Amino acid sequence: MEQIYLAGGCLWGVQEFIKYVPGVISTEAGRANGSAQPTENKTAQSDSTQSDYDGYAECVQIEFDPSITSVTILMEHLFEIIDPYSVNKQGVDVGEKYRTGVYSTNAEHLTEAKHYISSRDDADRIAVEVLPLTNYVASDDIHQHHLSHFPEDHHLCHIPWDLLHKYKSQ
């Protein structure tokens, strides 16, 4: 199994969409590449999920089976749900934390993601960052699989409901 971190605006929608993609084993909502470190006590005021914005991107940690899917295929799926030309904005969510990105500790994943982007006809317009993962903090429990538990909050998500569950029945 391998891990990659995808950012595509609000993490609720990204997690709800990507968890049904064939080859995805598990997902966790979180924050990538901020400066804060996770703490043992999730309720502590110093916990990065309870503190001021520290430069992170909302993301989803994805564990996937490389014998079933690949970084390229996961990139294709990410591009189904994002505006790849938008900087720090997806749908109504605006701000640096809603930027799009691909993060990994595996250099081969980053190479494959960059190759996917560079091979597209619109590569010069794409605003998706591809960077090494320097830090990851899991989101609080209320954000894990949020749209599965609270589908009434879908109106806060930029991804249409039918697209959100495109792979659910497979």
CA–CA separation, 72 vs 69, rounded Å?
8
Report whether pLDDT(121) > 50.
Answer: yes
pTM of the model: 0.90
The catalytic site residues sit at 10
If one counts every other C-beta atom within 10 angstroms of the C-beta of residue 107, the result is 9
Query: What does the pLDDT average to over 45-58?
Result: 67
Output DSSP code: residue 139: P
Query: What does the pLDDT average to over 129-156?
Result: 92
Report whether pLDDT(37) > 80.
Answer: no
Query: What does the pLDDT average to over 98-102?
Result: 97
Q: Band of the pLDDT at 40, cuts 50, 70, 90? A: very low
Contact 81, 159 (CB under 8 A): yes
Q: Band of the pLDDT at 9, cuts 50, 70, 90? A: very high
Q: What is the mean pLDDT of the chain?
A: 90
Residue 43's pLDDT is what? 42
Residue 11: strand, helix, or coil: helix
Query: What does the pLDDT average to over 153-157?
Result: 88
